[in-house]
Structure 1
Amino acid sequence: MAAQTTQTIFGVDIVKGSSRSREAPRYAVAVLNGSVEKYSSVSRFKLLRLIRQYRPGILAVDSITELAENRKELVRFLKRLPPEVKLVQVTGNEHQEPLTKLGRDNGITFNPVMPDEEAFAAACLASMGVGYIVSAFEDRTVIKVSRGRSLGRGGWSQNRYRRKVQGKVREKVREIEAKLKDRVYDMTITEGFGGYVNGTFIVNARRSDLGIHSSREEDVQVTVTSVEKEAIEFIPLQRRKRDYIIVGVDPGTTTAVAILDLNGRLVEVTSSRVSSIPDIIEHISEKGRPVVIATDVVPPPGAVEKIKRAFKAVLFTPNERIPVEEKVRLARPLGYSNDHERDALAAAVKAFNTYKNKFAQIDKKTPSHLDANDVKALAIEGKPIEMALDMLTAPPAPERPRGAILPETEPDAKLEELRARLKQKEEQVENLRSYMGDLRRDMKHLELRVSSQDRIIRNLKSKGIDDVRRTREITIRDGEIARLKKESADLKRRNSELQSNMDRLKHIRAMEFRGDKAPVKVVESLSKEAVLNCDRKFGIKAGDVIFVRDAGGGAEAAAMLAERGVKAVIKGTPMSHMAEERLFRAKVPVLPRDDVPLKFVDGYAVLDPGRLEAAIEKWKAYAAGVEKRGREEKLLGIIDEYRAKRAREYRNDSKASD
């Protein structure tokens, strides 16, 4: 029989193949969404397509090994699911029970040899709250914004294209930052030319709660992934209604409440301006059974004392007021939205850390048939661990022999027990009376305060809304004006640089036409960046004369000059052997500065054309001599090699004749 369900639930069972075999697995699928649909055999691809189509709340299986061979494959499979889908293993956590036994215990009959019926049984069990959620991700999400394509090898428009793409990345980062304004997150950005190279957000929230999805546009891509846990965790699908909890409270105009379970996991952190003490007590009771009420100050506020008395919980206060730095360190890993939530969360974490070692001992000593949290609750009340275990372990009922008469309970012992119970009840009544008196005083105070606040609210309501809107609009416009001013200043500076370069180029071209002085383009150093910078400013073309102020660079920059067909290179300092050899092979004269005197005018140099030609002719004669010596050395080498060969042949012939 199927249980009624208000959400779509998928039950899945493997038909053939397995996650460990080479044969692709196929699955039987049962869909519960008010009616029942069954698919007898679907591939993994179609299973994922059905999940994306139906968007079920639960994907139930009898064993997660049917979906993945190991943890890595399981995480990969979970990443392909929509974020709201929970994977549930109905047979238990690490310790599993047979599906047939679970079905029998919950009134579900099915044929275990039929995969589609097993899938249906798994879906029904999950709808009844049987099973464990397979949790592989923390409640943290990484959002990465980066370029959507490579910038390529470059060209005339390389810088403009880089500025465009990195500007798009910056716009997308700001867009996501606006969406996360009410969230707790860390952001890192890498700035680039005209914008951002990339930006990364680490948000303290589940991926399904953000409303931001992975996407790819023309120039920008957004990748949204959940942060993996160190180990797969199994969370009960249907928690106990009254779990033991540790509550941190920060009272005041804004009251914040932080709730942890006895394993230190965050249950909830919230804050409100309108919650009264009774509202807070009711809210806490809905979340669980408090065993510790914690505060971050000494002495504890009266409101915290009232909440503690309402639950008869243990009050935790630190030895001294917790510093702000320590509060941030304690609360930041769990996440908070404001300073009040931070203080409440720090108090709860501080209380948990106080009992942490004792909790670890209890986990080791508690037998499997007892709930360790029950032992922890008794230990917090002050009971020794051994006594708590004895109190929770029901003694076995002794066998009554035939004919034996059980001794009656002694009247004195029974009377003492009744007196102790009566005293306990009287203390409870007294605590409740005291608490009721506090509530009545608070209620009168709040009634007066509410009537006063109502008058103020009526006067400020209409005016306040307009002021907020106007302030928000002004802030937005001021930000836009500042951004436009910055862009305008950047454009003016760039325009000034380009105008200066144009004037220099006109002057150089005029001197070239007159012929009285030969212009020389200056490269600051023999490096690729310096050559490209000179090319951008003045343009390096065939027939140019280049002066390298610092010639101690590499062969790559020399090759760039040779490829552009320059007429000659004048070196300001000694040039490396590899660079000079590269220019020599390209037949580009390399001239010392002493041979060609230069005059510097406005960032470039001029020289006497006659002196230049004389120096080039001198270099050509030197180059011809070098080539001639090279040919002679090569010829002598051939002759020496021939002589050595003939000598070897002669020696071999002499040995053969002997």
Structure 2
Amino acid sequence: MYKNTGSEGIKESNLIFKTQKSSRTTKGIIVGYDPGLTVGIAILNLNGELISLDSFKEIRRSEIISHIIGYGNTVLVATDVYPAPKTVRKIATILNSKIWSPYKNMSVESKIEIVDSFTAMGNSLNVPQNAHERDSLAAAVKTYKDHLNKFRQIEKRAEQLSMTQAMIDEVKIRVINGKSISNSLREVSQENIDNGYIGNLNHKTRGSSKSCHDKDVLKLSTKDPETPKVELSPEELTISRLKNKLSSQKRYINELREKNQELEAEVKFQKTEVSKFQSKMDKLRNEYSRKILEKREFASKISMIKRLQNKYSQERSMRLELEKQLDPNFGLETIGEDAVELKIITSFTREGIRESSLLMKISKGDVVLLENSEGGGSNTAAILCEIGVKAVITRDKISDPAENVFINCMIPVIPEDSIGIERVAQGSYVESEDLDGQIKKWMEKTRKQQTTEDKNKLISLVDEYRAQRRRELDS
């Protein structure tokens, strides 16, 4: 069901339509259409006369079509926006008519001006009662004005051919559908002659088809165009126009108030929605922050677990290494049978030698390793000579007096970095072959030095003896 906000016009127009359906030719109409929940429909005939102005709420499309075709053959469907809405295009397709829309959306001010100008030219019984009727009427009137020049040309030439109003409507329809004025006049005249509708018309008949557009005005009527119209004086027209304009302005103010109330309600609703979305955003933000904290905490715990695992692996490796070192037999399998154990002297002093001798049981023929030769001299070297060690391996350079003592005792002094020492468990070992090679090298080097020194001493003695003999001879 739908609500008709202007039902009187519809009832009267339906009576007209019933009469028209029995006529030979259906009159052409221009339909102004304002779509939406409430539909506005304005219908003009091709003489620019308003024959219906209504608005309907929650109306079905079939009811819209039924309402429109009751007034005639739709030639143009007019809209006040560009491009034409989808609903308007569908209505035009069903009515098999063209769509006429402005090159840009019509402003509210321009629509009010068009409607006020139109209603000021006749009675004000059919003044638009709401924005939907106003917009549809403005679209229909604007479309009619866009075609007015062609319509005037048609009427002027049709008057010369003594055409009836129905024939003039048919010519206008054909011109709107794309045919030329000349062809349309010729075709309509010929069709009516063939059908016997045109005979010898007298001057009176021709005079009765006078154009309704002698003045540049648009007629307003809710009845058949042939019904006599009331002539108004200029003052009455001015008063009527001003009253219509005042009424229109009041309606516009009421519309603005209603629109303002709607906008305030919309603002309130949007604020509520914004508040809801804000609450939702806060909740999501808190949830997001909580998840981030959980992820960070999780990542921190994973990192801690990895550190603990690495530390555990390191300590486990260290423990295994210590266990191996504590094992007295650890590493011995890697030492050859001819390996020589080194007796370690931590400090090259009398006390250090005594402690190491007790701990390591240093005896004749042992090879000792001096970890620190600092403080050692000829006396400490003489102790090792008395023990009768086989060789001395030094980690750093020993003093010259100590080295001279070892040379005199023919005890090889071998730098640690020149011989391979293997530390196994709690002991240090060298391969006997490697040790013998270093000892042999030291012996050869020392003998050469001693030979050179002996030779130099001999030469020095000979030179000294010769010098003494010369002094004796000279005296």
Fold equivalence (TM over 0.5): no
Higher normalized strand content (fraction of residues): 1
TM-score (norm 1): 0.24
With normalisation by structure 2, the TM-score equals 0.33
- Tell me which protein shows more helix as a share of its residues: 2
Q: Which has the higher contact order (CA 8 A, sep 6+)?
A: 2
